[in-house]
Structure 1
Amino acid sequence: MRSRFAPDRQLTVRMVAVVFLLGLVYVAFVAALVALLKSIVLVVVVVAALLAAQYWFSDRIALFAMHAKAVTPAEEPELHGAVDRLCALADMPKPVVAVSGTDLPNAFATGRNADHSVLCVTRGLMRRLDRGELEGVLAHELSHVAHRDVAVITIASFIGVLAGLLVRFAFYSELFGGRRQDQNTAALLALVMGVSVLAYALGFLLTRALSRYRELAADRSAALLTGRPSELASALVKVSGDIARIPTEDLRTARSFNAFFFTPALREDSPLATAFSTHPSLQRRLDALARISAELGRPA
């Protein structure tokens, strides 16, 4: 899809590299399962079905999980007006616009491509941001759609989802059926668990590295499209500050969508957690936006 969002060749190169490496992991993972489970048909059918379901229905799954629904221009005229302006400015198809009733201030875009995408914002976000700040966040999410990284992250995260399911399956099979299993079956389950853990770890690290860079790329594209990096920076400060004041237990249900959110719903402060985060640190994002402001000759 062509749009007026500034192309990001570094993002493209990193996406291709990560998808290639994940592809190697994926092939090795499936080959190992076939060798261990002795049923290529079963493995291929299960893997293909899960991948297809995640790819085709990711938007519906995300909206359902966030208790969000599509809204019409009559229901949300200001929100639709902002999306219309940005899509016209970016010369891209307009996604389905949805709203989640949660007070958690955030937004996300999902869908398999630009013609089948959803842009969702929460009531908490709309209540806290002014018009310019909201447009900065919307432009950030539209950049994800324009650069196709929503679909890339969805596919890239699949290997981790599948591996995690297999780890749980092997664990509970060993836990509840250990006494009835012979040594060969127990060894097989241990191998499946070992392969799954390795695949999950590799997929986790590669996907997190790509996710952090794509957030910086989306910030830059949004700032260049709107010409107002300071509005996006202001939105980041507001949203991050307000999320920090929301009780942790109220954020845990949204944590699984961190990779798709504008800012993470639940952030850990340890250096190790930061290295594994789906998003760069707030300060790194603000510093990058300040540099863009200087490039554009705007006050930070």
Structure 2
Amino acid sequence: MFNLFKTAVLMAAITALFMAIGSMIGGRAGMMMALVVALGMNFFSYWFSDKMVLRMYNAREVDETSAPQFYRMVRELAQRAELPMPRVYLIDEQAPNAFATGRDPEHAAVAATTGILRVLSERELRGVMAHELAHVKHRDILISTISATMAGAISMLANFAMVFGGRDEEGRPVNPLAGLAVAILAPLAASLIQMAISRAREFEADRGGAEISGDPQALATALDKIHRYAQGIPLEAAEAHPETAQMMIMNPLSADGIKGLFSTHPPTEERIARLMEMARGSA
């Protein structure tokens, strides 16, 4: 119930951003048009954002025939978590990472890069996929996919405002500096909204994943290994669509430029420390 409330707050906040940018571009008429677009985007995000994100990453669905060991691992963990079997995808990327998406546990999907399958041991991979299933169990996946889709749309709308400028209530061009400010601040505001819901969510998914797998230490070592490997291997799809970075188990973006200012993930060292404390407590 609380996650449904957070989803509603997220939709309302991003809708308000849409309306503010629309007002800057076209006054009252622009604001109302932006409201209509935002409502349409909210509807689209609820039903189709998972498919859109999977398409961004060129993810291919696999089954027990095409990826038997990985598929059976996910099935066994889903049973332990008392979840319906999600759709399973692989992404042909060297960078080690994984995410979950979908609007609810009955329509969920988990995806992992081929790089993470090569880098991690079977035990560590179980910890990672248990983490993703914890996101499904906690119903985080709707929030993450909606925020990713809407943040991308806000960035495009803000760029439109900068390039084409805006009009006030009487149709006169607005100050071009205002358009530039909107183009810079609107995507940052969307990132801040994502940050507000993402960091605590990752800690909870780490805890839930450790409980599902029964092996907090394996997830801790997996996070350490992913962190070290991911720093030197770019994830091209995430670099092209930075609004989707908060869906990943580890931030896939390079730390240069504006992308490095607002991380949607808590420090890896703190995540590992909490998991190792869980491991000591269960020993």
Q: Equivalent residue for 1:291?
A: 277
Q: Equivalent residue for 1:160?
A: 151
Instruction: Report matched runs for 1:94-105 at 5 Å.
Output: 94-105=85-96
TM-score, normalised on structure 2?
Answer: 0.84
SS of 1:115's equivalent in the other structure is: helix
Looking at structure 2, the residues matched to 96 and 55 of structure 1 have their Cα atoms a distance apart, in angstroms, of 17
Looking at structure 1, the residues matched to 175 and 256 of structure 2 have their Cα atoms a distance apart, in angstroms, of 39
TM-score, normalised on structure 1?
Answer: 0.79
Q: Equivalent residue for 1:245?
A: 232
Cα offset for 1:275? 6.7
Looking at structure 1, the residues matched to 55 and 10 of structure 2 have their Cα atoms a distance apart, in angstroms, of 31
Looking at structure 2, the residues matched to 203 and 265 of structure 1 have their Cα atoms a distance apart, in angstroms, of 18
Contact 2:198 2:265 in 1 (8 A): yes
Report the structure number with the largest CA radius of gyration.
1
Name the stretch that deviates more: 147-156 or 71-80: 147-156
Contact 1:70 1:97 in 2 (8 A): yes
Looking at structure 1, the residues matched to 55 and 13 of structure 2 have their Cα atoms a distance apart, in angstroms, of 32
* RMSD after superposition: 3.5
Give ranges in structure 2 of 5+ residues lacking alignment: none
Cα offset for 1:169? 1.1
Looking at structure 2, the residues matched to 29 and 200 of structure 1 have their Cα atoms a distance apart, in angstroms, of 11
SS of 1:38's equivalent in the other structure is: helix
SS of 1:185's equivalent in the other structure is: coil
Partner residue of 1:20 out of 9, 13, 16? 9
Looking at structure 1, the residues matched to 263 and 60 of structure 2 have their Cα atoms a distance apart, in angstroms, of 28
Alignment of 1:86 with 2:73, yes or no, is: no
Q: Equivalent residue for 1:49?
A: 40
Contact 1:96 1:119 in 2 (8 A): yes
Looking at structure 1, the residues matched to 59 and 279 of structure 2 have their Cα atoms a distance apart, in angstroms, of 34
Q: For 1:35-54, what per-residue CA distance to the aligned partner results, in whole angstroms no more than 9, with x for missing partners? A: 82426763343222222223
Change (3 A) 1:295 1:254: farther
Looking at structure 1, the residues matched to 217 and 88 of structure 2 have their Cα atoms a distance apart, in angstroms, of 25
Contact 2:98 2:132 in 1 (8 A): yes
Partner residue of 2:264 out of 278, 294, 300? 278
Contact 1:103 1:124 in 2 (8 A): yes
Alignment of 1:259 with 2:237, yes or no, is: no
Change (3 A) 1:33 1:45: same
Contact 1:98 1:119 in 2 (8 A): yes
How many residues are paired up?
281
Cα offset for 1:221? 0.6
Change (3 A) 1:102 1:197: closer
Cα offset for 1:151? 0.7
Looking at structure 2, the residues matched to 247 and 158 of structure 1 have their Cα atoms a distance apart, in angstroms, of 21
Change (3 A) 1:101 1:85: same
Change (3 A) 1:252 1:296: same
Percent identity over paired residues: 30
Looking at structure 2, the residues matched to 145 and 284 of structure 1 have their Cα atoms a distance apart, in angstroms, of 23
Contact 1:212 1:279 in 2 (8 A): yes
Change (3 A) 1:18 1:193: farther
Q: For 1:106-128, what per-residue CA distance to the aligned partner results, in whole angstroms no more than 9, with x for missing partners? A: 11111111111111111111111
Q: Equivalent residue for 2:67?
A: 76
Cα offset for 1:24? 4.9
Cα offset for 1:33? 3.9
Change (3 A) 1:98 1:38: same
Change (3 A) 1:209 1:125: same
Partner residue of 2:134 out of 124, 143, 167? 143
